[in-house]
């Protein structure tokens, strides 16, 4: 199986063991493997065993509601319930270790640059939320990662929130995202999947993407989807219908079949009118 290609999206699937679900699990496994391999190739080797790394996991869940009432702090130590940080718009979440020396910084940079290139407006169409995995990290560490990694374009820093919570609340949020991590005590680092989650304005998980290979078009469409038609343009809604193609069965869903039928009908009508005008022109010429 090839590694995850640029722009690939991990669709959130139901718990039924379908072929799509199995494919989703395999792709999630590739994300975890890629994260672990890249991390271990860097100078600061993780002091965890291969068997321990096997416990690092990402299991995307169907339409799960995040724990909206847990208290969360920002870099200014302002505390508010999770729900208030959503801001009434779709959000992109990255789970990061603020003192990470391997992939967390690049993941934030890649995602923020993709957002800046998406053509959507920060604050109006989306927010970027980075959530700290280590409850011991303080506002200084969170602010340092924000300053170093978030793209300065498009007013993105003003609408990017680097948040922290207590240990129990961190665990609750990780459980909602379907993420399992491993702590490396020797290097004070977390091994975790390198993923970015798209969350609706109501706080429900919509998509999981690779934070290391996501591109602007894929992220834009995921945000449009999470925005339920209130984000993006009409042409984005048409592009989203591509998700209606079922690769497992090789057939189009009802929504896409209706679109194709409508397009075909319009084409026939236009062709008939064109032929009619041609015949009419010949009759007048005679």
Higher per-residue confidence, 199 vs 277: 199
Residue 45 is given by DSSP the state: -
Q: What are residue 130's phi and psi, to 5 degrees?
A: -110, 125
Q: How many Cβ atoms sit within 10 Å of the Cβ of residue 107? A: 24
Q: How many Cβ atoms sit within 10 Å of the Cβ of residue 187? A: 16
Bridge partners (DSSP) of residue 168 are none
- Average of per-residue pLDDT values in the chain: 76
What share of the chain in percent tops pLDDT 70? 63
Instruction: Show the beta-strand stretches assigned E in 107-263.
Output: 127-132, 160-163, 179-180, 182-184, 189-191, 195-199, 205-210, 245-246, 251-252
The confidence band for 53, taking pLDDT boundaries of 50, 70 and 90, is low
Give CA–CA dist 127/87, Å, rounded. Answer: 8
- Residues 170-218 pLDDT 10s: 999 999 998 887 777 776 677 778 889 999 999 999 888 888 888 999 8
- Please answer whether residues 115 and 151 qualify as being in contact, where contact means their C-beta atoms are separated by less than 8 angstroms: yes
Position 191 scores a pLDDT of 76
Burial 10-23 (b: 16+ CB within 10 A, else e): bbbbeeeeeebbeb
Burial 74-105 (b: 16+ CB within 10 A, else e): bbeeeeeebbebbbebbbbbbbbbbbbebbbb
For the entire predicted model, the pTM comes to: 0.67
Higher per-residue confidence, 277 vs 99: 99
- Residues 27-40 pLDDT 10s: 455 444 444 444 44
pLDDT of residue 85 exceeding 50: yes
Q: 3-class DSSP state for residue 62?
A: coil
Position 271 scores a pLDDT of 76
Position 180 scores a pLDDT of 83
The confidence band for 223, taking pLDDT boundaries of 50, 70 and 90, is very high
Of 190, 161, 170, the residue nearest 77 (C-alpha): 161
pLDDT of residue 61 exceeding 50: yes
């Amino acid at each position: 199986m090839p590694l995850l290609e640029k722009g690939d999206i991990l669709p959130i699937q139901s718990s039924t063991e379908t072929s799509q679900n199995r494919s989703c699990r395999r792709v999630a496994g590739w994300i975890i493997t890629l994260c672990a391999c890249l991390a271990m190739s860097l100078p600061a080797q993780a002091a965890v065993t291969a068997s321990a790394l096997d416990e690092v996991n990402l299991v995307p869940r169907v339409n799960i509601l995040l724990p909206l009432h847990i208290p969360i702090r920002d870099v200014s130590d302002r505390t508010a319930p999770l729900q208030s940080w959503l801001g009434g718009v779709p959000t992109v979440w990255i789970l990061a270790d603020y003192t990470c020396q391997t992939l967390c910084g690049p993941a934030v940079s890649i995602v923020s640059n993709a957002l800046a290139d998406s053509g959507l407006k920060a604050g109006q169409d989306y927010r970027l939320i980075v959530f700290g995995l280590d409850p011991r990290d303080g506002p200084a560490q969170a602010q340092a990662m924000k300053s170093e990694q978030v793209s300065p374009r498009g007013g993105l820093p003003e609408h990017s929130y680097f948040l922290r919570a207590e240990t129990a609340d961190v665990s609750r949020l990780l459980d909602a995202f379907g993420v399992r991590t491993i702590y490396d005590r020797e290097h004070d680092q977390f091994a975790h999947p390198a993923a970015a989650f798209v969350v609706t304005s109501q706080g429900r998980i919509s998509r999981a993407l690779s934070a290391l290979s996501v591109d602007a078009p894929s992220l834009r469409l995921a945000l449009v989807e999470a925005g339920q038609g209130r984000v993006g343009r009409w042409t984005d809604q048409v592009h989203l219908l591509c998700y209606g193609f079922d690769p497992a069965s090789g057939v189009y869903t009802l929504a896409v079949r209706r679109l194709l039928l409508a397009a075909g009908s319009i084409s026939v009508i236009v062709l008939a009118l064109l032929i009619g005008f041609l015949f009419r022109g010949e009759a007048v010429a005679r």
